[in-house]
Amino acid sequence: MARELFNSPEKKWIREHFWLPRLLDFKARFPPDIRFRYLTFAGPEGRDIEFFTQEHSVFAIGDIRVWERSTRSASLIRQKFGLELQIKEGEAFTLSSSVAEQQAPFFPYSVVNLDFTDGFFNVRARRAEPHKFEIIENIIRCQQKHASGFLLLLAFNVAPDVDNAEGQVFVHKMALDIATRYGATKALFNLTRGAKQNYPDVLGDLVPAAVIRAGGEHSFDTQCTGKAVYRPYGRRRSTMLCLSFEFQYDNPPLSQSRHFVSQRMEEVIAKRQAESFKVVVTQVNERRKPVGKGGPKRAREVPKAVL
């Protein structure tokens, strides 16, 4: 089998020990009368779909929708799973945008898995927001219309030099902001001394703060519930950061002005951002190291996120 990013033992670990427990926990608290639905980037083999439907009955295949920009991958998973699986071929940025009205009827989802392969801040042109962040905001807006809480799983490449200079502007501004407002100076310190090997830690602090802000501004109490870093087959140039978030809709009274609602959410955002800096980053490759010479691989429990 080809050594692809999606079939590494480390990725398997993420599915089993990072995604699955969070999905099961969320599902156990989900209203039983609402269909538990999944939106995912499945890749050419749909390993997450296989895992969540066949090995663990978390979703029914008819409750899954795939967004896939590669025609080849879309055709492969169509052959593998048949017509019951809904596949929409296209770039998530276009599919999630407000002009893509055709995608709106398929919302809301219970779990959204944005399992990217490239960098979060690899921005093609000067713009107000990185493309990936805009995808997240578009999805949050669609979920808000349905007042629907959900789980967001996010993964992207955090290898040194994966993000370009335009993207670094966003990174530096956020690092300065959280250092100033919270005294959380680690990200800024690492960036200013150019410590490239710490880029996963830097983005592990900054991206959750931005996602929590975006959720809060759409009336979601948003918590970062996990962080993990893995290097597929030990390759540094594809170091991946995985994050998980839980969005609970806050349902503001219709009688309250926007100003009042956003003032209240400001406190929630600040509290959740401060908590997110304390969430421990699980180092998947370290976890998987043999216990002793020739000994078995460790299969320890994922520690509860520090909240």
Ligand X SMILES: C[S@@+](CC[C@H](N)C(=O)[O-])C[C@H]1O[C@@H](n2cnc3c(N)ncnc32)[C@H](O)[C@@H]1O
What residues make contact with ligand X under the rule CB under 6 A? 5-6, 15, 40-44, 47-48, 67-70, 73, 91-93, 115-117
**Shortest Å distance, C-beta 240 to ligand X:** 9
* Strand partners for 66: 40, 87
Minimum distance between the CB of residue 132 and ligand X, rounded to whole angstroms? 7
The residue (of 120 and 277) whose beta carbon lies closer to ligand X is 120
123 or 178: CB nearest ligand X:
123
Nearest to ligand X of 91, 286 (CB atom): 91
CB of 127 to ligand X, least distance (A): 15
Backbone φ and ψ for 42, nearest 5 degrees, come out as: -95, -15
Identity of the residue, 185 or 285, whose beta carbon is nearer to ligand X in the bound complex: 285
CB of 231 to ligand X, least distance (A): 14
SS3 assignment, position 158: coil
Considering the complex, state which of residue 46 and residue 216 has its C-beta at the smaller distance from ligand X. Answer: 46
- The answer to whether 249 and 144 have CB atoms below 8 angstroms apart is yes
Residue 53 near residue 85, CB atoms below 8 Å:
no
Of 289, 34, 226, the C-alpha closest to 143 is: 34
CA–CA gap between residue 188 and residue 199 (Å, rounded): 11
H or E element: which one contains 39? strand 38-40
- For residues 25 and 56, the answer to whether their CB atoms sit within 8 Å is no
Q: Which is nearer to ligand X, 10 or 217 (CB)?
A: 10
Question: At closest approach, how far in Å is the CB of 19 from ligand X?
Answer: 8
Please state the length of the chain: 307
Q: Is the peptide bond before 31 cis (omega within 30 degrees of 0)?
A: no
CB of 118 to ligand X, least distance (A): 7
Number of helices (H) and strands (E) in the chain: give both, helices first.
11, 8
Structure tokens at 283: 């180092």
Smallest distance, ligand X to C-beta of residue 182, A: 31
Q: Please list the alpha-helical segments (H only) found in the chain.
A: 9-13, 20-28, 47-50, 71-81, 92-96, 131-145, 165-182, 186-192, 199-217, 258-276, 284-287
* Inter-residue contact 116 to 157 (CB < 8 Å): yes
Q: Which is nearer to ligand X, 91 or 266 (CB)?
A: 91
Nearer to ligand X, 73 or 223 (CB): 73
The CB-of-298 to ligand X minimum distance in angstroms stands at 22
